[in-house]
Amino acid sequence: MKHTSITLLTLTAAASFAQSAAAAAPAFTTSGNLAFTSDYVWRGISQNAGKFAVQGGFDATHSSGLSAGIWASNVTLTTASLEVDVYANYGFKLGALDASVGYIAYAYEGQSSANFEEANLALSYAGLTLKASKGIAGDLNTSDFYYEANYSYDVAAIKGLNLGLHYGIDRAAKNDDYAVAVSYPVLGFTGTVSYSDIENGASITAVTLKKTF
């Protein structure tokens, strides 16, 4: 009986500790990322003239679904050499769908005339994400919409192997772009080889190593 009493007491204490630990889970979580890429491609267009880019960011997420972050990359535009993006999102459930509304500001050091802002709405289900972005400020045509579909598939037969597909439409520019990417763990990083193409433009193959911490 004494042994049984000690066992019950231990189990009760362990259960109480687990409940306390769950209740004490932090409301905020943070993460950072660092990447090296042979070409920074955005919506089918190289942002650094096919040159090497170093990229990094930091994100903070609240248990309510709110998140915000900052991200930067070197670029080669007319006079700009650095792009800094600041963004915020709110994620929530919509039935079986994961939904989010967000805002992003693109700033270019040395070329402020290129700065612009967008608002976006996204819906995700079973690896497929449909997203619409609209320019709301800056020299970018604020009536412009960019629609995209992204699909992420983890190949079950090979642990860590992921296939990513992208298709986008820029309504104002009347261009569409697509990309195919394959990712796999490499020396503690996620290695990605991507092929991008844009209507009436050149195709781009890029190799990227990214680490999240």
pLDDT tens sequence across 112-150:
989 999 999 999 999 999 999 999 998 655 568 999 999
8 part of a folded domain? no
pLDDT tens digits along 65-77? 999 999 999 999 8
Those residues whose C-beta lies under 8 Å from the C-beta of residue 133, and which sit 6 or more positions away, are 118, 119, 120, 145, 146, 147, 148
19 part of a folded domain? no
pLDDT band at 97 (very low <50, low <70, confident <90, very high): very high
If DSSP codes are grouped into helix, strand and coil, which group holds residue 141?
coil
101 part of a folded domain? yes
13 phi, psi to nearest 5 deg: -65, -40
51 part of a folded domain? yes
pLDDT band at 174 (very low <50, low <70, confident <90, very high): confident
For residues 147-157, one letter each, b for 16 or more C-beta atoms within 10 angstroms of the residue's C-beta and e for the rest, the string is: ebebebeeeee
pLDDT greater than 60 at residue 9: no
Extended beta strands in the chain, E state:
28-37, 41-42, 45-46, 53-62, 66-74, 82-94, 97-109, 116-125, 128-138, 145-154, 162-170, 175-186, 189-198, 204-212
Residue pointed to by tokens 């289900």: 125
pLDDT greater than 80 at residue 16: no
The CATH number that applies at residue 154 is: 2.40.160.40
193 part of a folded domain? yes
Q: Are β-strands 45-46 and 41-42 bridged in parallel, bridged antiparallel, or unpaired?
A: antiparallel
- Determine the pLDDT at residue 147: 97
The model's pTM: 0.86
14 part of a folded domain? no
Query: Which structural domain range is residue 101 located in?
Result: 28-212
Number of domains in the chain: 1
